[in-house]
Homo-oligomer: A and B are copies of this chain.
Amino acid sequence: MIFTTKAEYGVRLLVELGRQSSESPVSLKAIAESEGLPLAYLERIVALLKRADLVESTRGAHGGYRLARSADTITMDEAVVALEGSVAPMACFVDDSDDGRVLCSHVEDGETCATKFLWLRVQGGVNDALRRTTLAELVDFSSRQAVPAGASPLGAALPIHTAA
């Protein structure tokens, strides 16, 4: 159960675009160099973000990318779905209702097996965490890191472990 680096790069890309959210677009080359990421790969990743309307592009010289909306209206839920496909803890969770055929043995006439019960719960946890995190929050966090005045911003961000 792991996130791909595709998702990592994608989020870093979004954060970087969010930081320099002036009107002028930012070229991938600039981001690739400043972050030390492979440009060609980033191109393919940003294509996913564009397809999901999270990012706009301007072609040609002095072109580049910028956020399609303001950072506080972009949830990480959207970002991860755009980058990795649907956040489904099992392959059969992906919607194949057009087919009508149930590919897995989890569902039998509307019933739910114990495994699916668990997976749904996990999926809920993931989606919840992703949906309540906006890009604006990440951009903000990223900026605060440069100035280490705010002692431990992780404390507020992770009240999950402490609860249990």
Which residues of A are interface residues toward B (Cβ below 8 A)?
1-3, 5, 7-8, 11-12, 15, 36, 76, 80, 84, 87-91, 105, 111-115, 117-122, 124-133, 138-139, 141-142, 145, 148, 153-154, 157-161, 163-164
Does more than half of chain A's interface fall in helix, strand or loop, or is it mixed? helix
Which B residues are CB-close (under 8 A) to A7? 1
With A2-B91, A139-B114, A145-B113 given, is the CB distance from A120 to B11 under 8 Å?
Answer: no
Q: Are A128 and B163 in contact (CB under 8 A)?
A: yes
Q: Are B122 and A126 in contact (CB under 8 A)?
A: yes
With A3-B1, A124-B160, A160-B124 given, is the CB distance from A117 to B154 under 8 Å?
Answer: yes
Contact of A15 among B80, B115, B157 (CB under 8 A): B115
- From A113, A118, A145, A161, name the one whose CB has the most chain B CB atoms within 10 angstroms: A118
Complex alpha-carbon distance, A163 and B127, angstroms: 11
Q: Are B158 and A111 in contact (CB under 8 A)?
A: no
Which B residues are CB-close (under 8 A) to A114? 11-12, 15, 138-139, 141-142, 145
Which B residues are CB-close (under 8 A) to A128? 125, 160, 163-164
Q: Are B160 and A121 in contact (CB under 8 A)?
A: yes
Which B residues are CB-close (under 8 A) to A153? 117
- Sample 30 A-B pairs with CB under 8 A, ordered by A number: A1-B3, A1-B87, A1-B88, A2-B91, A3-B90, A3-B119, A5-B91, A8-B90, A11-B114, A11-B115, A15-B115, A76-B118, A111-B145, A111-B148, A112-B145, A114-B141, A114-B142, A117-B157, A118-B133, A121-B129, A121-B158, A122-B126, A122-B129, A122-B130, A124-B158, A124-B159, A124-B160, A125-B129, A126-B126, A128-B164
